[in-house]
Amino acid sequence: MTGRFHDKVAFVTGAARGQGRAIALAFAREGADVIAVDICGAVAADSPASVLQDFDETVAAVEATGRSILARHADIRDLPALEAVLAEGVERFGRLDYVCANAGIAGMGAADALSEDQWDTMIDVNLSGAWRTCRAAIPHLKRQGAGAIVFTASATGLKALPGVAHYSAAKHGVIGLMHALAAELGPHWIRVNAVCSTTVRTPLIAHEEHYKLFRPDLEHPTEADIAKAASRINALPIPWIEAEDVANAILWLCSDEARYVTGAALPVDAGFCIK
């Protein structure tokens, strides 16, 4: 712990588990207080949902570092709800410094096999939800006169994979949104970037339906069954990275070490994009 973000405040969406929890905890370990939201409920049938206990565990982990957390249940498809949480958080902590638009869903399906509901839900959560997160937070950052926004994007927002057309389209859109916001917010000293990861081992992908993408020959594939096949999408011979790898990249992008980095889509992808 270096205290890089001592007495600063980070807003993290999708904080109940996985990458969101890792991000919230990483900020807290570096001295920041956290405003956190999560829906803690089902959004899409093929995307495993977080639950209340997950969020409670995040709260306990952050508080164990000695920092404070304001945790509220909110849907990133609900702009007034996000605005209310941020208003409460800024009133409590007195500031907002960093925004981590992390909440999202996973899903599978070729473009010509997706239902309209699958497509619409994916875009509404992973792209429009990211915009709503920023829409709610930007006024606070502008009033403060500085800040940083980081999107949890994906390497599939830079290079598509078959079988996840709606997910890839949404993440390509997130990269475009990031670039636009970086241009718009630069004069306000608000930096905007994205982390583009390869597969991250979280509950979103740790289930049989996802495993079947890599091992369609097996009726009930396990994590062990797919490890070798999953490694083939990356240049480095690993099947996935950990949530902490994403969190570490986000901390760097928010830190003074990256004070002149904006508009960047940073691959943390084990070489996925060059494979």
Active site residues: 167
Q: Where are the alpha helices (DSSP H) in the chain?
A: 18-29, 52-64, 79-93, 116-122, 129-144, 165-185, 208-214, 223-231, 243-254
Name the DSSP letter for residue 227. Answer: H
List of residues 6+ apart from 98 with CB closer than 8 A: 5, 8, 9, 10, 11, 27, 32, 147, 148, 149, 150, 254
List of residues 6+ apart from 152 with CB closer than 8 A: 14, 19, 23, 100, 101, 102, 104, 194, 195, 197, 246, 250
Q: How far apart are CA 123 and CA 170, in angstroms?
A: 5
- Residue 55 · residue 71 · CB < 8 Å: yes
DSSP 42-55: -SBTTBPPP-HHHH
Tell me the two tokens of residue 6. Answer: 């001592």
Tell me the two tokens of residue 146. Answer: 């500085």
Tell me the two tokens of residue 167. Answer: 């997910």
One-letter amino acid for residue 227 of the chain: A
C-beta atoms surrounding 261 within 10 Å: 17
Q: How far apart are CA 100 and CA 124, in angstroms?
A: 17
C-beta atoms surrounding 255 within 10 Å: 16
